[in-house]
Structure formats: C-alpha cells, structure tokens
Amino acid sequence: MIDICDLDLVYDNGHQALHGVNLQILKGEFVFLVGTTGSGKSSLLKLMYRELKPSAGAVLVGGVDLGDLARREIPYLRRSVGVIFQDFRLLGNKTAAENVAYALEITGTAKRKIPSRVAQVLELVGLSDKAKRLPSQLSGGEQQRVAIARSLVNEPSLLLADEPTGNLDPDSTWDIMQILSRVQTSGTTVVVATHNQQVVDLMRKRVLVMKRGHLVHDLARGAYRLDGRGSGLHVEQPGAPFSAVEAR
C-alpha cells in the first residue's frame, strides 16, 4: 500500500525533518508510528497525503509516486486517503451529518445517495442519534468519531491518524481505537501516529519508531513505554529484552 524509499525531507528553513527513511506498509495493515515530539512522525504522515513533498526519495501510495502528482491531481489522492487529526478539524457551522455529507458533496456524489451513505458511516462510529448536533454540542470523543466518519465516507483505502486520541479521555480513546481497529478489519490500511503508550501497548500492532527524523525501529507486534525516569522512549518487541530499544 505504501512504499517509501530513501526519503529525505528538508523544510524551507533548512531544518531536516526526515533522513533516509525506508519503509513498506502492506494493504490492510494497522501500524503505529511512535516517537517523541519533533521525531518526524507528523511530517511522515503529511508526506503520505501530499501535504508535503519529499526533498529526496519517493513516497508511493497505492503505486502512485506522490512526488510526481500534479497540483490538480492532489484532491483526487485525498479522496482515497482519509485523514484525522488531534483537533478533529470539523466545520463548526455544520452538523455532524453535514460535516460527513460535505466530503461527499465535494466529490460530486448524487444528492439522493448522500443521506443513506452518511447514515451508514455515522452508524459505524455509533453516532446515529447525534447526526443533527453541531460539533460544539458533542464531546471530544464524539467529535473525533464524526471526523472518522467523514474520513471513511468516501471509502478510502488508507486512513491516516495524527494523534487521534491526544485530546481525549481514556474511555473515548479506547472507543476510537476500537473503531480504527474495525476499519482495519474491513480492509482499510490504518496508520496512527501517537504518543499514547497505553494504546500501543494494548493493541500490540506493528510499531514504527521515529527518532530525530530517522526510522530507528520497525517491530512486528511492538509495545512502548516511557522509561522509569520519564526521559525517553523505550520500545519492546515481545520476546526480546527490553533493552532492544532506545530513546534519548
């Protein structure tokens, strides 16, 4: 699904955010992207939905080299890649259902097909009864579920989540992770960038560890936690000694 080769990313201010990243994510996989702030997780996600362009190397999503995409082709990529964020990014003046419908309206979906499709995804995220509420009338967890519904409504083959539970309480966090897990089960590739060690530890999915722009670990069923001094990130591979890992 995703092929990344020798990827470098240098921002306009000269800061190198990513160094020689090589990575492959298969169709239908669930992957956690972990690392401290500034490690390059978000930059890597942004490259996957072409918010950023690689400085060197290549990012291929579904076989398409995103570096070669013309500006006018980017919207079409975004329709096949769902993205959710820590701050939900919902339109405050539209109801939950309208926010979801919006992603269909922009793709020119026939008007009569929109209500049933919106109802379907809202049911998937457990919000059928709150379809007519504005984002301000929903809890954080519910807003994130609306965002997930919006990202799924065009049936993307890839779902990217940038700190999706960063603003949520533990209960809502768990709800969101279960929804994402269900999304993966239905065949969508899911990539989640997160700081939340509990989530990573509990889910036991593939974990990619970023540090200062380098991909330093790629663990099949990884877990991670902050070390006892709270000064860095440790990741463990089941069966491997805890020191298999790193941080600092």
Partner 1 sequence: MYSAYFFREVITNIRRSPLMSIASVTTVLVLTLILGYFATVMVNLEALANSLLREVQVVAYLDDDANQVSVAQQLERIPGVTSAHFVSKETALNKLVERMQGRIRVDDLSRNPLPDSYEVAVEGAEDLEEVAVRARRIAGVAYVKYGEEIAKKMLHFNALVRTVGIVILTLLFLSTVLIVSNTIRLTVFARRKEIEIMQMVGAAEWFIRWPFILEGVLQGLLGSAIAATLVGGSYAMVVPKLVETITFLPVVQAQDMLPHLLPALILNGGLVGAIGSLVSVNKFLKV
128-157: which residues touch partner 1 (CB under 8 A)? Answer: 150-151, 154
Q: Which stretch binds partner 1 (CB under 8 A): 30-38, 71-79, 183-191, 214-222?
A: 71-79
Sign for the pseudo-dihedral over CA of 25, 30, 35, 41 = positive
Residue 3 Cβ, how far from partner 1 at the closest point, in Å? Answer: 22
Q: Does 72 bind partner 1 (CB under 8 A)?
A: yes
Q: For partner 1, give the closer residue by CB, 32 or 85.
A: 85
Q: Does 196 bind partner 1 (CB under 8 A)?
A: no
Using an 8 Å Cβ cutoff, are 138 and 90 in contact? no
Q: Does 202 bind partner 1 (CB under 8 A)?
A: no
Q: Does 102 bind partner 1 (CB under 8 A)?
A: yes
Rg (CA), the chain: 18
Residue 71 Cβ, how far from partner 1 at the closest point, in Å? Answer: 6
Residue 161 Cβ, how far from partner 1 at the closest point, in Å? Answer: 13
Dist. CA 193–CA 211, nearest whole Å: 13
Burial classification of residue 235, based on how many CB atoms lie within 10 Å of its CB (0-12 exposed, 13-18 middle, 19 or more buried): buried
Using an 8 Å Cβ cutoff, are 213 and 19 in contact? yes
Residue 171 Cβ, how far from partner 1 at the closest point, in Å? Answer: 27
In 3D, which of 55, 24, 56, 41 has the Cα closest to residue 212?
41
Residue located via tokens 């097909």: 113
- Residue from 16, 65, 74, 137 binding partner 1 (CB under 8 A): 74
Q: Which stretch binds partner 1 (CB under 8 A): 19-27, 67-75, 180-188, 208-216?
A: 67-75
Dist. CA 104–CA 100, nearest whole Å: 7
Dist. CA 244–CA 130, nearest whole Å: 46
Measured in Å, how far apart are the chain's first and last C-alpha atoms? Answer: 31
# binding residues, partner 1 (CB under 8 A)? 25
76-95: which residues touch partner 1 (CB under 8 A)? Answer: 76-79, 83, 89-91, 93
Dist. CA 48–CA 204, nearest whole Å: 23
Pattern 9-48, partner 1, x by CB under 8 A: ----------------------------------------
Residue 193 Cβ, how far from partner 1 at the closest point, in Å? Answer: 16
- Output phi, psi for 236, to 5 deg: -125, 145
Q: Which stretch binds partner 1 (CB under 8 A): 97-105, 125-133, 184-192, 213-221?
A: 97-105
List residues binding partner 1 (CB under 8 A).
49-51, 71-72, 74-79, 83, 89-91, 93, 102-103, 105-108, 150-151, 154
